[in-house]
Amino acid sequence: MNVIVLLGPPGAGKGTVADALTKRGVHHISTGDMLRQEIREGTKLGLRSKDKLNHGLFADDTDVITMVTDYLMAQKLDDLVLFDGFPRTLVQAEKLAELTQTTHIHLTTVLRLKCPDQVLLGRLSGRRTCVSCGAVYHDLFSPPDVHGRCDHDGGALAQRVDDEPATVKRRLDVYNRLTRPLVDYYRETKMLHEIDASRSSEEVRSDVLLKVKEFLP
């Protein structure tokens, strides 16, 4: 299994990059989506993680590592996989390095989306999510056809608890403190590609596709 790791603060456009790669046949694994699923289902792991996520903190390394490895072991993934939200800390990165030694997981590329905090705050404060299907909209950049209603199913649009301003600030702090060090960690491996994510989503998308071209199915 070939793996691309996607690093970037909240609001940098990881979802856009993931969509673009999914369309090109890449399998997308989002730990954020997996955790929100655990929370909806009320599993033990979900219950443990809920408060942390709602307060802009990370779930426990042990929980995330268990969740990801369990998932990977249950899959027959021979193709190219995008890790979105994993690793998020040095402990998780070291676990991934260990997995590449002991399993058929092969790390090919690390994409880092770079974006100033000011831009991120502007993007996140306008984000609205459909309560029924999870589709994401933005007041300025991608508003729905009908105000406050999802284009797909008419569901109500709400601000995710972790997109509230105080929580967003904390998420950025946590990212800078815990995930930012991964940039230096991966720079030494020569696998790191830095992408200016303050540009339009089209520009970011084509830049990303160019960077991973040789690995695409």
Q: For the CB of residue 98, give the shortest distance to Zn ion in the complex, in Å.
A: 39
Whether omega before 9 lies within 30 degrees of 0, making that bond cis, reads: no
Distance CA 21, CA 205 (A): 9
- Token readout for 139 is 């007041």
Residue 111 interacting with Zn ion (CB under 5 A): no
Point out which span in 7-15, 82-90, 135-143, 186-194 binds Zn ion (CB under 5 A). Answer: 135-143
Q: Strand (E) positions, the chain? A: 2-7, 27-30, 80-84, 106-114, 127-130, 136-138, 157-158, 192-196
Quote the least distance from Cβ 110 to Zn ion, whole Å: 32
Binding-site member from 130, 168, 174, 192 for Zn ion (CB under 5 A):
130
What one-character-per-residue DSSP string does 66-103 give? Answer: HHHHHHHHT----SEEEEES-S-SHHHHHHHHHHHHHS
Helix (H) or strand (E) holding 184: helix 181-187
Q: Catalytic site residue 171?
A: yes
Q: Is 160 an active-site residue?
A: yes
- Give the nearest distance from C-beta 69 to Zn ion in angstroms: 32
Sole window of 16-24, 36-44, 122-130, 171-179 interacting with Zn ion (rule: CB under 5 A): 122-130
- Catalytic residue, chosen from 36, 50, 88, 128, is 88
| 85 vs 155 by CB, closer to Zn ion | 155
Restricting to residues 138-177, name those near Zn ion by CB under 5 A.
150, 152-153, 155
Which of the following is catalytic: 36, 50, 123, 127?
127
Would you count residue 135 as binding Zn ion (CB under 5 A)? Answer: yes
Give how many residues touch Zn ion by CB under 5 A: 8
Q: What does the alpha-carbon distance between residue 68 and residue 49 come to, in Å, rounded to a whole number? A: 15
Nearer to Zn ion, 79 or 153 (CB): 153
CB 23 within 8 A of CB 127: no
Clarify whether 23 is annotated catalytic: no
Residue 136 beta carbon to Zn ion: minimum distance, rounded to whole angstroms: 10
How far is it, in rounded angstroms, from Cα 183 to Cα 161? 28
* Among the listed residues 65, 14, 13, 7, the one whose alpha carbon sits nearest the alpha carbon of residue 35: 65
At its nearest, how many Å lie between Zn ion and the CB of residue 124? 19
106 binds Zn ion (CB under 5 A): no
* Nearest residue to 170 via CA among 162, 181, 179: 162
Instruction: Please identify every residue annotated as catalytic.
Output: 14, 88, 127, 160, 171
Residues that bind Zn ion in the complex, under the rule CB under 5 A: 130, 132-133, 135, 150, 152-153, 155
